[in-house]
Amino acid sequence: MNVSSVFQGSLKNSRKISPQEFIQELKSGSTDERLVTCLESLRVSLTSNPVSWVENFGQEGLGLLLDVLERLVETKNQDKVVKRSQHKVIQCLRAFMNNKYGLERILGEERSLLLLIKAIDPKKTNMMTDIVKLLSAMCIVGEENILEKILEAITAAAEERNVDRFSPIVEGLQDNSVQLQVACMQLINALVTSPDDLDFRLHIRNEFMRSGLKEILPVSLKCIKNEALDIQLKVFNEHKEEDMMEFSHRLEDIRSELEYPFDIINDVYNMVWNTVKDTSAEGYFLSILQHLLLIRNDYFIRPQYFKLIEECVSQIVLHRSGTDPDFTYRKRLDINFSHLVDICVDKARLEECEERASELSRKYGSLPPVFVPSTCGHASVVPLEAAGPHGLLPPPPPLLPSNGAIPPPPPPPPPLPLLNGLGIPRGFGGAPPPPPLPGLPGAQWSPPSCTLPFGMKPKKEFRPEVTMKRLNWSKIRPQEMTESCFWVKAEEDKYENADMLCKLELTFCCQNRGNRKKIVVLLSSLCVESFFVLAIFLGSFRVPYEDIRMMILEVDETQLSESVVQNLIKHLPEQEQLNALSKFKSEYKNLSEPEQFGIVMSNVKRLRPRLSAILFKLQFEEQVNNIKPDIMAVSAACEEIKKSKSFSKLLELVLLMGNYMNAGSRNAQTFGYNLSSLCKVSFEMSMLSITITFSFVFIVLLKYSVLLFFLQLILCFLFINFIILSIS
């Protein structure tokens, strides 16, 4: 029977087509109207037939569908038939993955995500809508590392097109189709809100903003009246404000943990220096420090300069919009701050005089009346005896006659002018207040269910009287837990008592500290050193440069030994030098051997990562054999800890303390947390805070002998491990 005749008018034909007939037709490689008809029939069959039919087709048919999609995407002449065929393939894939088997099969195909993203084209509105909906569904219901796979595929497709990786999605928001706009916003929300790490969420959101979303949101999308689009915009804004609030809490934690003593100041400097060292930001950091040295050495003026600088930095870092500022702004800030500094200096001098007067009034109670400036710009006479017990003067009496008037003090400073569209508030000291609480904190994709799984009960909501340091753990939602999960059976309420919670407030409260006196302690060829080092290496490794390049691209382990790869990594010039050398391709024969080698190697993309990956592959077996005993020991230890009742009780105690400390934040009333969060918290804390935390936990555990013995056992193991490492 002719296969093509089966599909002629197949939508009207009641004959059931078998999976093998579709597979045979897809193997024919046709790209005309017959392929469109076949794909439409396949879509109907995938939708209407049971899962067993889909499984029979998917064994071989999924690969053929992806082959067809790859061939259509790479076709240069995108006529109407090719576009229709592409859309039909996407619809078939959508119908195929509308079940657990199909979803797992598509996620198991490495090229499926890349081909779907390559097919994204804002000019093809309907097809792009279906693709974006597919990707959104994968983000929400896919496996744990699906977000990473999707981002890798988006990055790879963008590198081939030489565009920003999120620009096609942002372009879809500019289309007139509301369905496409809703689908694109849903994908953006899925990519932005899925990561648990705050820094990663901020990074993805800011990258979307830089790709054009910042200009589209207030102009185009907010003018469209559509309920589905409004929901997606609301989710985006609420999560943005929530992340901004959590980010602002970091400043409170930093200030509460890093006290003022000089050793802490050195720690802060070292932390900043380590983050910028050997990066492109190192030069800018040095320039900032050099400019700070230019501040005049004046007792009154220097603090006012630092106040102004601190306020400017806080306005830039803690941006009110919750996103990065406009990095493309290159104009110089033509704002004269001299009059503001003068006003602040006068105010500081006045405050110092008032402080001295207050000290004298407390020291000598029988002095004659003094003049105190009033709020109306005049002066009034108040006897010092009328001052309060702390030297605070009462409100001024009625104004004196005009002949006894005193010249008014300097006026209060006016509000600062705008900095690049950002208003600086009147007060210079301290950080700007965090953004207001969102209307619906912790909004998810759908309203949370009222009933908790496995008979779990809602967690108690704590309301501490003071602001406390946050315990930034990774929250586990009840819907993500299994019935055998430890957190389902956790009962931390039995450890709650007023005495412990009071001590918790005293130990980890964010104290408001007073004012502190701060103390201020063009490349065209290889450099000479790199030239000679590379020349010596090439002299010992006599292989044509083009052959070396092909060895790297083909990962030829017969030619690339471990020592050769190590020498290549060690002696290769930096990427900037290779890029500079690539400009001299026309003068290749006139250059020296090291420069010729650099020109050949400049054609290899991501050269150093490639070499590092090759070296890792060559050393993999040796490294596995070296760490295998350690892995077995760690696995056995993990099993012991997993079965430990004392460790379970310790986790319950930490859950209680964390919920109390996180009261009022997005991590409050947590049912469970990832254990890796505890390592992250200890990494972010200073040594002083770690010492205080361990001391507090030790005091609490004195009441529980079983837990105390467990903690002592762990500390003994750590001490033994430290001794072993010191000896080795």
The pair phi, psi for residue 432, each rounded to 5°, is: -65, 155
User: Judging by DSSP bridges, how do beta strands 370-373 and 379-382 pair with one another?
Assistant: antiparallel
**pLDDT higher than 60, residue 399:** no
Separation of alpha carbons 12 and 40, rounded Å: 12
For the chain, the average pLDDT equals 74
- pLDDT of 387 higher than 50: no
Average pLDDT estimate for 447-471 = 75
528-620 topology per CATH: Methane Monooxygenase Hydroxylase; Chain G, domain 1 (1.20.58)
pLDDT, residue 81, reads 86
Evaluate if residue 69 carries a pLDDT over 60.
yes
User: How confident is the model at residue 244, as a pLDDT?
Assistant: 81
Pairing of strands 379-382, 418-419: unpaired
Residue 504 is predicted with a pLDDT of: 78
Confidence (pLDDT) at 11: 46
DSSP 400: P
Please, which residues bridge with residue 381 across strands? 371
Asked if residue 413 has pLDDT above 60, the reply is no
Residue bearing tokens 């939708």 = 47
Q: Are strands 422-423 and 418-419 parallel, antiparallel or unpaired?
A: antiparallel
Lookup: tokens for 299:
């007792």
Kindly report whether the global pTM for this prediction surpasses the value 0.85.
Answer: no
Query: How far is 50 from 59, CA to CA, in rounded Å?
Result: 15
Which pLDDT belongs to residue 441? Answer: 38
User: What pLDDT was estimated at residue 346?
Assistant: 66
Question: Tell me: the pLDDT tens digits for 645-655?
Answer: 778 877 888 88
State what percent of residues in the chain have pLDDT above 70. Answer: 68
Please tell me the predicted confidence (pLDDT) of residue 489.
Answer: 84
Is the pLDDT at 525 greater than 50, yes or no?
no
Distance of CA 716 to the CA centre of its chain: 37
Top mean pLDDT of 57-66, 133-142, 460-469, 531-540 is at: 57-66
Q: Are 657 and 461 in contact (CB under 8 A)?
A: no
Q: What pLDDT score was predicted for residue 719? A: 67
**Residue type present at position 551:** M
> In this model, does residue 522 exceed pLDDT 80?
no
Is CATH 1.25.10.10 the classification given to domain 123-257? yes
pLDDT of residue 282 exceeding 90: no
Binning pLDDT at 50, 70 and 90, where does residue 674 land? Answer: confident
Task: Tally the C-alpha atoms within 13 A of residue 418's C-alpha that lie toward its C-beta.
Answer: 3
Describe the crossing of helices 545-554 and 593-601 by its angle, rounded to 10 degrees. Answer: 30
| Per-residue confidence (pLDDT) for residue 695, from 0 to 100 | 62
In 3D, which of 494, 508, 487 has the Cα closest to residue 707? 494
**Model confidence at 691, in pLDDT bands (50, 70, 90)?**
low
Distance in angstroms (rounded) separating the CA atoms of residues 119 and 161: 12
Structure tokens at 616: 């890792």
Residue spans of the domains in the chain: they are 1-108, 123-257, 295-327+335-418, 473-521+644-728, 528-620
- Residue 272: what pLDDT? 85
Closest CA to 496 of 269, 299, 656: 656
Average pLDDT over residues 657-682: 77
d(CA 474, CA 671): 11
Mean pLDDT across 119-141? 89
**Two structure tokens written together for 728:** 């080795």
Rounded distance, CA 574 to CA 529, Å? 13
- pLDDT tens readout for residues 465-475: 777 777 777 77
Which pLDDT score, from 0 to 100, does residue 446 have?
40
pLDDT of residue 406: 40
Distances from the Cα of 562 to the Cαs of 309, 316, 535, 575, 693, in angstroms?
Answer: 52, 47, 20, 22, 46
In the chain, the largest separation of any two C-alpha atoms, in whole Å, equals: 120
Given this chain, do its domains 1-108 and 123-257 carry the same CATH topology?
A: yes
Q: Sorting pLDDT into bands at 50, 70 and 90, what band is 536?
A: confident
Residue 412 confidence (pLDDT) above 90: no
Higher pLDDT, 589 or 263: 589
User: Mapping DSSP to helix (H, G, I), strand (E, B) and coil, where does residue 120 land?
Assistant: coil
Confidence of residue 405 (pLDDT cuts 50, 70, 90): very low
Share of the chain above pLDDT 90, in %: 7
Highest-scoring range by mean pLDDT, 164-173, 442-451, 676-685: 164-173
Strands (E), 182-294: none
Contact in structure between 597 and 534 (CB atoms under 8 Å): yes
- 408: pLDDT strictly greater than 80: no
Backbone dihedral region of 15: left (phi > 0), alpha (psi from -120 to 50 degrees) or beta? beta
Burial class (CB in 10 A: 0-12, 13-18, 19+), 728: exposed
Q: What is the mean pLDDT of residues 129-139?
A: 90
Q: How confident is the model at residue 515 (pLDDT cuts 50, 70, 90)?
A: very low
d(CA 318, CA 435): 10
Determine the Cα–Cα distance for residues 668 and 279; give it in Å rounded to an integer.
37
Measured in degrees and rounded to the nearest 5, phi and psi for residue 434 equal: -65, 160
- Please report which confidence band the pLDDT of residue 129 belongs to, taking 50, 70 and 90 as the band edges: very high
CA distance 6 to 1: 8
The CA distance from 408 to 375, in Å, is 10
Region 96-102: mean pLDDT is 87
pLDDT at 409 over 50: no
Return the axis-axis angle of helices 227-257 and 198-208, rounded to nearest 10°.
Answer: 130
DSSP-derived 3-state class of residue 671: coil
Q: How confident is the model at residue 93 (pLDDT cuts 50, 70, 90)?
A: very high
435-474 burial code (b ≥16 CB/10 A, e <16): beebeeebbeeeeeeeebeeebeebeebebeebbbbbbbb
The answer to whether residues 517 and 573 touch, using CB atoms and an 8 Å cutoff, is no
Looking at residue 115, its pLDDT comes to 92
Q: Please state which of the four CATH numbers 3.90.1150.10, 3.40.50.720, 1.25.10.10, 3.30.470.160 is assigned to the domain occupying 1-108.
A: 1.25.10.10
Helix ranges (DSSP H) in 162-226: 167-173, 178-193, 198-208, 214-219
* Span 131-137, average pLDDT: 90
- Write out pLDDT tens, residues 223-260: 777 888 888 888 898 888 888 888 777 767 666 666 55
What does the H/E/C string look like for 432-494? Answer: CCCCCCCCCCCCCCCCCCCCCHHHCCCCCCCCCCCCECCCCCCECCHHHCCCCCHHHHCCHHH
Checking if the pLDDT of 38 tops 70, the result is yes
CA 703 and chain centroid, separation: 40
Please say whether the beta carbons of 198 and 144 come within 8 A: no
Task: State pLDDT tens for residues 361-373.
Answer: 776 654 444 444 4
Write out pLDDT tens, residues 561-620: 888 888 888 878 788 888 888 888 888 888 778 888 888 888 888 888 899 999 999 888
Instruction: State yes or no: pLDDT of 342 exceeds 80.
Output: no
Structure token digits, residue 350:
């006045």
Query: Average pLDDT, stretch 457-484?
Result: 80
